[in-house]
Structure 1
């Protein structure tokens, strides 16, 4: 299959690993920003195949995981109201709020539906004009254009019973916040290829220059990730700090102009709280004033919602790359995919879910167990 099998070739992976091993001369810490990359790294054992002096730090690249508890509780409040059809991508239904999740709302009689596109939710609104239909808009820059298009279409078609609960976040401000943290150990970044396929790479050179940090735009298959690591390590060893595009089959510097156009029409940047991290200035999107009538927070008046995080959950530290999932005392015991305490154990891109799924329980690195999947 094109762009799958050839990017999982064990012989090519070994050549890249040998190149990395022949380049590195000292310890380096590299953060992969995307949760999809994290799962690929853990699934294929890439972190265990690398030389021991290269550490991969898992970043806050799971949009489900960083959606603030306050927004989850707002979603639960809206979904519980009579006359509401609450639509969401499936990975949001098990994300715990302060005391329940969307599955519990559904079991209690709420009309909660999984859809594959925000335009599916818009069609539901058109078919049921007597109901208020709300779509839960969560994600990084990757999913934002489709959600913006749903708002654009709703306004164009004058669908009045459709609205969006928006909690979109942006990658560059997150990188800025990570680098300014006093606890930061990151020396290079693997940037998310799918985000850059939408937004381009033009926001990253200023970050690389300001913080003297290499940023390599990387894909998601094993060879993509190894090539990204190889380029990052080479820059680190040379004392360079540039933006490199290691994913040219999908990413152009200017991004996707059509997607960017609809984003500018529907969204404006705003400060956004990240679950377990705190508020990052300019790191989110909200609907513009022209689309205020499609803002579910405004329509349902859910501005003030009290929240309380579980004290034992360390997902915030996991999202910041300060601890690995298995270093949390609740991991695999009180916190499992069936009984999650934090969103990092729920999402298909969450680091805790990856460690649990692939049984990564502080497994020691040995030459005998190293292999390429």
Structure 2
């Protein structure tokens, strides 16, 4: 296949759906978590859940970098941005992520904070070069996918000898979050979230490969299928998971072979390991403080660490108790289970982080209207 439309062929999709229905044992339930927010968006956009039998259920995971950033880290960024000497560079979605008490970087900008939306790390470097009298801070977020560009940016800052540039690092790692979900003890009566297998993230796996997920299969007995973002990718991955469950297998399979290899991108991994090291713990919205799941700059690069440069104080802030984002990110609830969904909380007025990015479960459900069938059933 060469073109995107070939991965959206209706007849092939219907054929895969027919195979899933034929092979899914009616005597059992299949619960698969798609970790990545991009997969959640694909499911909502193409209505893939409507093509699955009733006993095959997709569970939305925490795989949206904007969604999992806790309110405390947003508050830290807001406090930093309000400093008169600071220019804070952020990706667009971060502007609207709620902090505590309805605060956001967009509202801070309206109050006079110098917050600049950038499209790449190179933009932040350029802004630092053009404003030598200001402290330019890049608000770095994301999983393993966006960490290599941040590493390259720091190398470039070093090469250019930028003394007015630093990074507020919030990069996190995927496998520890998967382990946290499987080990959580406050989720159901059995002590664990009911998951029979994972749809592994695509872009993340291009960087790290397939080996980091082997503990999920080996230690927890849960199959993992790495897959792409097109609807045929997703349907084939679901079929592969159904077959693994039926055959009592728990392996890491790679459906996304056109982009992912077992060892990942060695150059990207080397750059990251040269610049970053593990934090003992890092807070995720919905998951709490997850051990060894976050990155920080190594001692050789701490001059670019905004948390040290500005003596930033770690903030732990409780989420809005009316918002169910935390439970949705853990896979315990669906967007329609939240009382705020579609009422006071919409993409235009997000009350929780899951409604901000198009890869957030709530935003995806809203944008593609997947909540309407639920509302109609409730009304009837």
How far is the alpha carbon of 1:183 from its aligned partner?
A: 3.5
Which residue number in structure 2 is paired with residue 254 of structure 1? 263
Which residue number in structure 2 is paired with residue 370 of structure 1? none
Partners of 2:285 and 2:14 lie apart in 1 by 38
Partners of 1:338 and 1:265 lie apart in 2 by 40
- TM-score normalized with structure 1 length: 0.95
Partners of 1:206 and 1:110 lie apart in 2 by 44
Higher mean Cα deviation, 306-315 or 273-282? 306-315
The alignment partner of 2:294 has SS state of strand
The alignment partner of 2:331 has SS state of coil
Identify which of 121, 126, 129 aligns with 2:129: 126
Partners of 2:193 and 2:372 lie apart in 1 by 22
Which residue number in structure 2 is paired with residue 40 of structure 1? 42
Deviations 1:46-67 (A, max 9, x none): 0111011000000000010001
The alignment partner of 1:184 has SS state of coil
Partners of 1:307 and 1:45 lie apart in 2 by 36
Partners of 1:294 and 1:61 lie apart in 2 by 27
How far is the alpha carbon of 1:3 from its aligned partner?
A: 3.7
The alignment partner of 1:33 has SS state of strand
Cα distance change, pair 22–306 in 1 and its aligned pair in 2 (3 A): closer
The alignment partner of 1:36 has SS state of helix
How far is the alpha carbon of 1:193 from its aligned partner?
A: 1.1
How far is the alpha carbon of 1:364 from its aligned partner?
A: 5.5
Partners of 1:32 and 1:6 lie apart in 2 by 22
Higher mean Cα deviation, 151-160 or 228-237? 151-160
User: Are 1:76 and 2:78 matched, yes or no?
Assistant: yes
Please say if residues 215 and 242 of structure 1, whose CA atoms lie closer than 8 Å, have aligned partners that are also in contact.
Answer: yes
Partners of 2:347 and 2:135 lie apart in 1 by 31
How far is the alpha carbon of 1:125 from its aligned partner?
A: 0.5
Please say if residues 326 and 362 of structure 1, whose CA atoms lie closer than 8 Å, have aligned partners that are also in contact.
Answer: no
Partners of 1:64 and 1:11 lie apart in 2 by 35
Please say if residues 216 and 223 of structure 2, whose CA atoms lie closer than 8 Å, have aligned partners that are also in contact.
Answer: no
How many corresponding residue pairs? 366
Partners of 1:111 and 1:327 lie apart in 2 by 37
Consecutive aligned runs of 4 or more in structure 1 exceeding 2 Å deviation = 304-308
Gaps of 5+ in 1: 367-373
Identify which of 98, 105, 108 aligns with 1:105: 108
In the TM superposition, 1:1-373 aligns within 5 A as 2-25=2-25, 26-99=28-101, 100-181=103-184, 182-270=191-279, 271-305=281-315, 307-361=317-371, 363=373
Higher mean Cα deviation, 246-255 or 336-345? 336-345
Cα distance change, pair 304–168 in 1 and its aligned pair in 2 (3 A): closer
How far is the alpha carbon of 1:362 from its aligned partner?
A: 5.8
The alignment partner of 1:248 has SS state of coil
Which residue number in structure 1 is paired with residue 187 of structure 2? none
RMSD: 1.5
Partners of 2:238 and 2:203 lie apart in 1 by 17
The alignment partner of 2:62 has SS state of coil
Please say if residues 336 and 374 of structure 2, whose CA atoms lie closer than 8 Å, have aligned partners that are also in contact.
Answer: no
Cα distance change, pair 311–364 in 1 and its aligned pair in 2 (3 A): closer
